[in-house]
Structure 1
Amino acid sequence: MSVATTRRSVLMGALGLAGAMTSFGAAYAETTRLRLAWWGGNERTRRTQEVLRLYQQRVNGVELAGEVSNSEYFTKLATQVVGRSAPDVFQLEPNSFADFVKRDCVLALDGLMPNPIDAAGISRAMLDLCAVDGKVWGIPQALNSFAMMYDKDAFATAGVAPPDAQTSWDDYADRMVELTKALNRRRYWGSCDASGYSYAFQVWLRQRGRDLFTADQALGFGKDDVAEWFAYWDKLRQRGGCVPADVAALSPDSTINLMPLIQGKAATSFAFSNQIVGMQATTPVQLAMTMFPNGGAGAKPGQFYRPASSWSIYAQSPNPEAAARFVNFFVSDPEAAKILGVERGVPMSPALRASILPTLRPVERATVEYIDAIADKVGPYPPPPPKGSQQFGQLMKRAADAVAFNSASISDSAATLMKDAHSIL
């Protein structure tokens, strides 16, 4: 089997593979060729490539070509779907899942289970996280939730208590201002600016009994909610507790190498629990994690368990069964699970989870312990987002940046976001 990995961004440049096809093993005259696409940083790509090599040792006559992206991943995938050139197998996540299913580009997997996809180790409840309209469209790789990552030494040096599950949004803001002043480092702040992070906004909404989207595929919030969210971050920005606009603009999402925490510009970043593995591999500072701030007395749970990522098959793939066999291997093979660890999240299968625990490093065990620790603090999984919702994150970031750069008022930016959000649904 031949394995090739390509990348159209700085990631593979960092690995010394920019602009190149990397091949492993022998090529076969009669081969089944599969293209695979995923997003992620250096650590994820390293582990994924190792699993591809393992698959090469097990299966002859298959050629795998990996396509790796980061913040441009979903834009690129959507373009490939329109051009009918999407990869055979691609990675999705909750905010994008229903959107791509409703584009009629994802293959329903019910007919491929239990053979070649044996999902017996994954509970029905977990499979339902990848179900739309009663059909399964993806196989969940692992479980995660939202998590705030922070620099342990920064808080210790500043003499400020780090955030924990009992920290409210108001408490968090005060601590970030206190830490920034106590450390007094040049171009260093307590918090990242999460005003443009739709997933942080979702947690904040859910704590108030609302959500990004409703079960009937409409927006689940109003202009006043957006304005209050933007005002919180604008006030924190003016108090000096979070990074300024020029720094925030370069951190568009949860891309690890762009996080202010990883760039040495902030003590905290809003992220996903599994990302601590890739983040710790990227920075020398000692990281810890906790939940996002809570909504205060009487608030509802904001966080929820979610499939960190899932594997889906392109509806137009010429080799759906070969693609299904690869997906089955990736999510259920014990050796593959040990290689992947918890970088993509905690394995869905209890048996796989138990099998990898003895092999995990401390930072990896922290992910498993975190998922276990928040069990009584998470709420129900949200309804599938509507078609077009994948663009919402970009719209929110644009509106948030307008406030941060003082190019629009909070009220006007909130109104613009509402108008733009309605237009994509």
Structure 2
Amino acid sequence: MGTEVSRRGLLRLGGGLAVASALGGTLAACGGTGASSGSSDLTMTWWGSDDRHAAYKKALAVFTKANPSIKIKPRYSGYDGYFDKFNTQVAGGSAPDLLQMDTALVASYAKKGVLAPLDDYVGKTLDLTGFSKSLLAAGTVNGKLYGVPSGIGVNVLTINVTGLKGLGLAEPDKEWTWDDLKTYAAKIYKASGGKVFGVDDGGGSTLQAFNVFAREKGQDLYTSDGKLGYTQATLEEWWTYWAEMRKINASPGGAVTSSAHNDLTKNAVVIGKGMITFDSGLTNSSGSLTGATLDFLPTPQGSWSGAREGNYVNGGVLLSATARSKHIADSVKIMSFIAQDKTAIADMALLRGIPPTAKARAIVAPSLAGNDKRASDAAAYVSDRVSKATNALPVPVAAPTGADQISELLFQSNLAIAFGKKTIKSALSSFFDQANSILSSS
């Protein structure tokens, strides 16, 4: 999925695995008082799986019957190349009117003036009833709303329950620590006779693992002014932890980690090389990627004195309008429809994340079973724990421009350590030099 910050970040059901495709033809959709002149189609783009594509199209078909005056031309693909294409379209003046946006990239595009602020529509044609302030923060940049969250995104680990039972191991406790993960992952390797690693290497995983670890230290990935929010000591401790995990075979070496980068089909759990993964997205395609029963656990907690609650609730993916669009008002109506319409909510189910409001979750709940129900329950568990925590940090600020490059830099630096090409000390020095350079030039 390219440098898919979203897939490597929060629990994001229905990630972009499908082969890129384009839908010819036009769907008619909901009219009303939109700004559309009728002279051109409203273009809407998104990435995702085939199931997500089908759900969007089904929702838009319902939207069509309500008001046929707005014409929508949907285009969809996998994540690979999605934002490369979007960048080209922006530069050429042909950007879509409405698009699915990555929470990790919204700040970058908003600050460049690519996205339209939505605040003037809230409470009017944009109904955000039931959306919490902390959830809306995922689409908020410098106090303005640029994207409507699709769901609750939480940091979880995916575990292969079927495989664990086959090894005679019970599931780990939800309230576990990093020390517990190390012990349990080593036990998996031993129980499998050295055939299966416990957990994939999280040393290069920015959002879904290191971010939580840093927050447990009272730090964050980025500061409000767009600088690195964590110290070299914190990253050194993190990389040392994963070096020890590889040494005791609790995690695989560089070869497995490298091959699985941005390719869920080669994920350690999918190919039978691991029992636990930091990657999300296996749930939506569980039948084709792995037939195993899956479950989901919160990212481990710090066991040191003064450890903070590092988990947090984010906004899944977003829907955003482009600033130069002539159809912003119509795009807003579509956002509101997808957020609040019962049929659209039921059609989307978990395909854009755990539904963002209590109303939406209640609509979807009766249809959930198996892996989907366990994923929803896990998100609710983490959300409830975070809401009750007295030592949790605020929701992270929107990632600055260059954050996707730094995510890739963290991965490659950890990989260089795993392959023995760099020591932790040398990797630290070059990482901070390069990361600070990226941020200062962005």
> What pairs up with 1:81-160 in 2 under 5 angstroms?
81-160=90-169
How far is the alpha carbon of 1:176 from its aligned partner? 1.4
How far is the alpha carbon of 1:418 from its aligned partner? 0.8
- Whether 1:242 and 2:251 are equivalent positions in the alignment is yes
1:17-74 superposed Cα distances (whole Å, 9 cap, x missing partner): x6664547689xx664233233333433332333233334444351322232325444
Tell me the C-alpha RMSD between the 2 structures: 2.7
**Preserved CA contact (<8 Å) 2:21 2:76:** no
Partner of residue 284, structure 2: 278
- Whether 1:413 and 2:413 are equivalent positions in the alignment is no
Higher RCO, 1 vs 2 (CA within 8 Å, ≥6 residues apart)? 2
How far is the alpha carbon of 1:137 from its aligned partner? 1.0
How far is the alpha carbon of 1:354 from its aligned partner? 1.8
Partner of residue 364, structure 2: 356
Find the residue that maps to 1:66 and give its secondary structure: strand
Q: Determine the C-alpha separation between the residues in 1 that align with 2:28 and 2:341.
A: 23
- Whether 1:201 and 2:196 are equivalent positions in the alignment is no
Against the structure 1 CA distance between its residues 43 and 196, is the aligned structure 2 distance closer, same or farther, given a 3 Å change threshold?
Answer: farther
Question: How high is the TM-score relative to the length of structure 2?
Answer: 0.83
Q: Determine the C-alpha separation between the residues in 2 that align with 1:80 and 1:164.
A: 47
Q: Determine the C-alpha separation between the residues in 2 that align with 1:156 and 1:240.
A: 20
**Preserved CA contact (<8 Å) 1:227 1:410:** yes
Partner of residue 79, structure 2: 70
How far is the alpha carbon of 1:335 from its aligned partner? 0.3
Gaps of 5+ in 2: 1-15, 30-37
1:170-213 superposed Cα distances (whole Å, 9 cap, x missing partner): 22122212212221375x32211111110111111111111111
Find the residue that maps to 1:367 and give its secondary structure: helix
Against the structure 1 CA distance between its residues 128 and 167, is the aligned structure 2 distance closer, same or farther, given a 3 Å change threshold?
Answer: closer
How far is the alpha carbon of 1:300 from its aligned partner? 0.8
Against the structure 1 CA distance between its residues 409 and 185, is the aligned structure 2 distance closer, same or farther, given a 3 Å change threshold?
Answer: closer
Partner of residue 392, structure 1: 406
Partner of residue 5, structure 1: none
How far is the alpha carbon of 1:124 from its aligned partner? 4.2
Q: Give the counterpart of 2:397 among 343, 364, 383.
A: 383
Equivalent residue letter for 2:336: N
Partner of residue 267, structure 1: 275
Against the structure 1 CA distance between its residues 281 and 62, is the aligned structure 2 distance closer, same or farther, given a 3 Å change threshold?
Answer: farther
- Whether 1:291 and 2:298 are equivalent positions in the alignment is yes
**Preserved CA contact (<8 Å) 2:175 2:300:** yes
How far is the alpha carbon of 1:295 from its aligned partner? 0.9
> What pairs up with 1:182-221 in 2 under 5 angstroms?
182-184=191-193, 186=195, 188-199=196-207, 200-221=209-230
Partner of residue 3, structure 1: none
Q: Determine the C-alpha separation between the residues in 1 that align with 2:405 and 2:83.
A: 9
Q: Determine the C-alpha separation between the residues in 2 that align with 1:166 and 1:236.
A: 20
Q: Determine the C-alpha separation between the residues in 1 that align with 2:300 and 2:81.
A: 29
> What pairs up with 1:153-192 in 2 under 5 angstroms?
153-184=162-193, 186=195, 188-192=196-200
**Preserved CA contact (<8 Å) 2:26 2:73:** no
Partner of residue 261, structure 2: 252
Q: Determine the C-alpha separation between the residues in 2 that align with 1:220 and 1:19.
A: 39
Partner of residue 4, structure 1: none
Q: Give the counterpart of 2:340 among 332, 335, 339.
A: 332
Equivalent residue letter for 1:127: L
How far is the alpha carbon of 1:83 from its aligned partner? 4.2
Against the structure 1 CA distance between its residues 21 and 73, is the aligned structure 2 distance closer, same or farther, given a 3 Å change threshold?
Answer: closer
Percent identical: 25
> What pairs up with 1:10-49 in 2 under 5 angstroms?
11-13=17-19, 21-23=23-25, 32-49=40-57
Gaps of 5+ in 1: 1-9
How far is the alpha carbon of 1:104 from its aligned partner? 1.3
Question: How high is the TM-score relative to the length of structure 1?
Answer: 0.86
Partner of residue 381, structure 2: 373
**Preserved CA contact (<8 Å) 2:139 2:146:** yes
Find the residue that maps to 1:249 and give its secondary structure: helix
Find the residue that maps to 2:316 and give its secondary structure: strand
How far is the alpha carbon of 1:107 from its aligned partner? 0.2
How far is the alpha carbon of 1:315 from its aligned partner? 1.0
Partner of residue 3, structure 2: none
1:283-323 superposed Cα distances (whole Å, 9 cap, x missing partner): 20000111112111431111101111111111122321222
Q: Determine the C-alpha separation between the residues in 2 that align with 1:416 and 1:246.
A: 22
May I ask how many residue pairs the two structures share in their alignment?
A: 407
Partner of residue 6, structure 2: none
1:102-152 superposed Cα distances (whole Å, 9 cap, x missing partner): 121110001223333222342444334422222111111111211100001
Find the residue that maps to 1:376 and give its secondary structure: helix
